Amino acid sequence: MSRLTGLDLLDGTGLRRNMALRVAGGRLAEVAAFDGQKGTDLSEGGARALVTPGLFDIQVNGGAGRLLGDCRTPAEVLEMAEAHWATGTAALLPTLITDGPEVTARVIDLVAAAQAEAPDALPGLHLEGPHIAVAGAHDPGRLRPMTDADLALYAEARARLGHLLITVAPEVVPPARIAELTALGIRVALGHTGCDQDLAAAAFDAGAVMATHLFNAMSGLHHRAPGLVGATLDRGAPFGLIADGVHVHPAALRVALRASPGAAVLISDAMAVAGTAADRFALAGREVLRRNGRLELADGTLAGADLTLVQAVENVARWSFAGIEEIAPMAFDAPARVLGMAPPELAEGGTTRLLVWRGGRGVARIDGDRLTPVTPG
């Protein structure tokens, strides 16, 4: 499978039709217009396949049977990343759910060590909490303000990892502190908050770059109290979306996409069961059940999502009546841009961790010289 034909290419630079790829040494050796080259034909029924970069998920709490906070070795972090690559996600920010400072420091060390082994798969880290106000499924006993010691730890983590995203509530981490984080090169997201529109706007002005999982665990949109949802959509700020049909109704999703075109960043919010057949796992000592496409605590509180990023793209395309070529960049280009990374480009010398789409579905992965089916998660 050294050459691939019968395909269109879509990356962060746009769409190129009727292209051919050649792979050598595990990298892209040639990216050219199709001109009769012989190779593995990816087209089906006369329709060319769409090839994109593997997807990039900036909110992955776990996978392969573990939450990130439960990992004890770099190998376990790498296993989590590989479980998601099997579903079509080539790169991710492993995400630590609210925990104590000692766990945060340990996880930073683990992710840094794993990143040294697989830098393309693990470009950084996402800390969701503990500096939040609305617990949701997080352990409410571990929520706390951000101290100077925390700031120093995060500055060191940013220097080691390259990319650090932190979700905070602006009533807990005020705009002045958000400005400090931003000055250190840390990307700040707003979430798990009951803040009003004015405070949210001040937090964005201070440097916050996005809202974490829009609509969920945040002050909602009311015509007299726009909240974080209203502030985000009003200024066109990027926002994460969990497109499983459970966290956000398809109608609300369409409203957000129309209100702020180009701002959506699709995320999985995946948990420990991702990549496994397990029907339950433990979160901060509480049992989370996997049933009917939901992950929930005993009281029905949602605790992450039972979703792959490929499924999220497929869902949004179906619900918004759009083509994959319009929606897929929300899951590989938008995440990179919100972190300040260069748009992903499929070019000579580049990665061969690619994704093949046919008929509105993500169907296969290109991994070096191998072409393998996408697993459902």
State both tokens at 364. 């296969």
The reported pLDDT for the residue numbered 85 is 97
β-partners of residue 357 are 50, 362
β-partners of residue 193 are 218
Measured over the CA atoms of residue 254, residue 187, residue 164 and residue 97, the dihedral's sign is negative
Spatial contact of 275 and 282, defined as CB atoms under 8 Å apart: no
Spatial contact of 28 and 21, defined as CB atoms under 8 Å apart: yes
Q: What is the mean pLDDT of residues 209-216?
A: 98
> What does the chain come to in residues?
377
Contacts 24+ apart (CB under 8 A), 76-80: 76/110, 77/110, 77/111, 77/113, 77/114, 77/122, 78/114, 78/117, 78/118, 78/121, 78/122
Residue with tokens 């800390």: 127
pLDDT at 21 over 70: yes
E strand intervals along 232-324: 239-242, 264-267, 280-283, 286-291, 294-296, 302-305
CA 239, chain centre distance (Å): 11
The reported pLDDT for the residue numbered 196 is 97
Alpha-carbon distance of 126 to 209, in angstroms, equals 13
Q: What is the mean pLDDT of residues 228-233?
A: 98
Q: What is the mean pLDDT of residues 132-161?
A: 97
State both tokens at 147. 């101290």
Distances (CA, A) of 195 to 35, 144, 164, 167: 57, 16, 23, 14
Output phi, psi for 183, to 5 deg: -65, -25
Alpha-carbon distance of 362 to 370, in angstroms, equals 16
Q: What is the mean pLDDT of the chain?
A: 96
Q: What is the mean pLDDT of residues 119-127?
A: 97
* Range name among 12-16, 22-26, 94-98, 248-252 with the lowest pLDDT average: 22-26
Question: How sure is the predictor about 52, in pLDDT bands with cuts at 50, 70 and 90?
Answer: very high
The reported pLDDT for the residue numbered 284 is 87
* Range name among 21-30, 110-119, 263-272, 340-349 with the lowest pLDDT average: 21-30
Distances (CA, A) of 104 to 37, 171, 282: 51, 22, 18
Question: How sure is the predictor about 230, in pLDDT bands with cuts at 50, 70 and 90?
Answer: very high
Alpha-carbon distance of 31 to 19, in angstroms, equals 7
Q: What is the mean pLDDT of residues 52-56?
A: 98
State both tokens at 54. 């593997």
The reported pLDDT for the residue numbered 1 is 60
In the chain, the domains with their CATH numbers are 3-53+345-372 (2.30.40.10), 55-331 (3.20.20.140)
DSSP, residue by residue, 227-249:
HHHHHHHHHT--EEEE-SSSSS-
pLDDT tens-digit readout, 157-207: 999 999 999 999 999 999 999 999 999 999 999 999 999 999 999 999 999
Spatial contact of 196 and 225, defined as CB atoms under 8 Å apart: yes
The reported pLDDT for the residue numbered 2 is 84
Question: How sure is the predictor about 25, in pLDDT bands with cuts at 50, 70 and 90?
Answer: confident
Residues annotated as catalytic are 269
Distances (CA, A) of 164 to 159, 185, 314, 315: 9, 8, 28, 28
Spatial contact of 344 and 333, defined as CB atoms under 8 Å apart: yes
pTM beyond cutoff 0.95 = yes
- Which are the contacts of 257, defined by CB distance < 8 A and separation ≥ 6? 264, 316, 320
pLDDT tens-digit readout, 82-102: 999 999 999 999 999 999 999
